[in-house]
């Protein structure tokens, strides 16, 4: 199970050795992402064994999907996230339906984000 950096720091201060080892591992293997956190702080990622396992599962499935389907799914997911950030009440399945035939105001918000 993944533990936050802060939780590991608390355990490290309590003298729990596995927490110290995990913190050292994360510091040595972290990758700076091209993102900024709150107050312009740096954002890092550490590829853990659990993340690697999930990535391998995705990579096994991904080649079986056509590039057209991949592109459409990326656009649909982007539209879903953009619309929900803007206040539309929707689901991924509703985004798929809205793209074909927008009916409500929320559907129209989704379609508009897809065409921006």
- The whole-number pLDDT of residue 72 equals 77
Q: Mean pLDDT, to the nearest integer, of 71-76?
A: 78
Cβ–Cβ < 8 Å for 106, 89: yes
Which 3 state secondary structure label does DSSP give 61? helix
Structure tokens at 25: 């591992």
Answer whether residue 98 shows pLDDT above 80.
no
- The whole-number pLDDT of residue 90 equals 67
Whether the pTM exceeds 0.75: the reply is no
Work out the percent of the chain whose per-residue pLDDT is above 90: 27
Total length of the chain: 116
- pLDDT tens per residue across span 3-14: 888 999 999 999
- The residue ranges of every structural domain in the chain are 5-58, 66-114
Dist. CA 27–CA 43, nearest whole Å:
13
Question: Where do the H-state alpha helices sit in 30-104?
Answer: 49-61, 67-85, 92-100
């Amino acid at each position: 199970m993944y533990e936050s950096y802060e939780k590991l720091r608390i355990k490290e201060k309590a003298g729990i050795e596995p927490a110290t080892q995990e913190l050292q591992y994360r510091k040595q293997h972290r990758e700076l992402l091209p993102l900024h956190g709150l107050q312009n702080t740096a954002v890092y990622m550490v590829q853990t064994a659990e993340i690697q396992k999930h990535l391998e599962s995705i990579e096994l499935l991904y080649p079986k999907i056509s590039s057209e389907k991949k592109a459409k799914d990326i656009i649909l997911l982007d539209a879903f996230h953009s619309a929900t950030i803007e206040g539309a009440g929707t689901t991924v399945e509703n985004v798929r339906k809205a793209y074909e035939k927008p009916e409500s105001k929320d559907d129209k918000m989704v379609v508009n984000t897809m065409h921006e």
